[in-house]
Amino acid sequence: MTAHPRPRKTLGNTATLSGEGLFTGQPCTIAFHPSEEGLRFVRGDIAAPVPVHYLALDPSPVHPAFSRFRGRSTNLARNHGMVATVEHVLSALMGLGITDCRIELDAPEAPILDGSAKPFVEALDAAGLADLPGTIDPLTLEQPVEVKAPSGPARITAEPRSEPGWSVTYELDYGQGAHLEPQTISWDGSADDYRKRIAPARTFSMDYEAKSLQSAGLFKDRTPADMLVIAKEGPIDNAYRLDNESAAHKLLDAIGDLTLAGGPIQANITCHRSGHDLNQRMAQMFTRRFPTFVSPAKA
């Protein structure tokens, strides 16, 4: 399979946002800095940078409640310093085609803001994008690959792609009688499409999930007006921003998680009912095949 090199991009200036972590509730300021060293996180209190890579995944629970419930975020760590709930941050960077950025946090968890990638995208656009010398060789496939959940229908397939770029499709289906009807949404890899149809999609939960998590000590200061909580009749004290917003957010998460492959991907990917764990396993499928992730810059 012929790999089509991607242009390298960073920021023209620094972008900064502040908010609270979704699960820790801690205030956090996140700053995106221009860089020429790929994507990496830096904690102000941890000397070593945290690479954006599958091997940096940290299974430690962000909140004690996740010792009882399945984890609901993507967390990275290096030298015992975690950067948690980074999927929306990474999705915004990947969605805009930014390949090099130093992301600095002053707390263990990235701010959730409005639950989407839109605030990050707006801040990055305001800072401006800048071209860097050289290109990056994308990760390609010679044959289709698939990862499946241990039980149930959830799966992700990735197929070789001869054209430049990549595509990602998400198929949401909670089954018969669920609060949400089946939804499907696809992204063609373009930044403009990401800005319009993917970035505004907010994280969501079903009403019964939200009640269980609140009873475990999460989201004490949040209401359905602050978060997208979905009952059988629709959002509680809220409204959808987009058609198929729930599928669009699952797609947003998948784009961010696939960044953990360690470089841009050239493939057509279909996610069926997947979550963070399967997204991360698909990223691992690419890293297994490509131990060298970023090609040397070519002036």
CA dihedral 161→250→65→155, nearest 10 degrees, is: -50
pLDDT at 293: 34
The amino acid occupying position 207 is D
Pick 65 or 86 by higher pLDDT.
86
C-alpha–C-alpha distance, residues 159 and 179, integer Å: 31
Provide, rounded to the nearest whole percent, the portion of the chain with pLDDT above 70.
92
pLDDT at 295: 34
pLDDT tens for each residue of 96-119: 999 999 999 999 999 999 999 999
Q: Is 62 helix (H, G, I), strand (E, B) or coil?
A: coil
Q: Report pTM.
A: 0.93
Report the chain's C-alpha Rg in angstroms. Answer: 18
pLDDT tens for each residue of 152-191: 999 999 999 999 999 999 999 998 888 999 999 999 999 9
Half-sphere exposure of 10 (CA within 13 A, CB side): 20
Closest by CA to 262, choosing from 237, 238, 285, 278, is 285
User: Angle 276-289/245-258 helices, nearest 10 degrees?
Assistant: 30
pLDDT at 176: 86
Give the contacts of 284 (CB within 8 A, at least 6 positions apart).
54, 260, 261
- The 3-state DSSP composition of the chain as helix, strand, coil percent (nearest 5) reads 25, 30, 45
Residue 63 pLDDT > 90, yes or no?
A: no
CA 265 to chain centre: 14
Q: For residue 197, give both structure tokens.
A: 């149809």
Pick 153 or 227 by higher pLDDT.
153
pLDDT tens for each residue of 23-33: 888 999 999 99
pLDDT at 154: 96
Identify the sign of the CA torsion 192, 197, 200, 203: negative
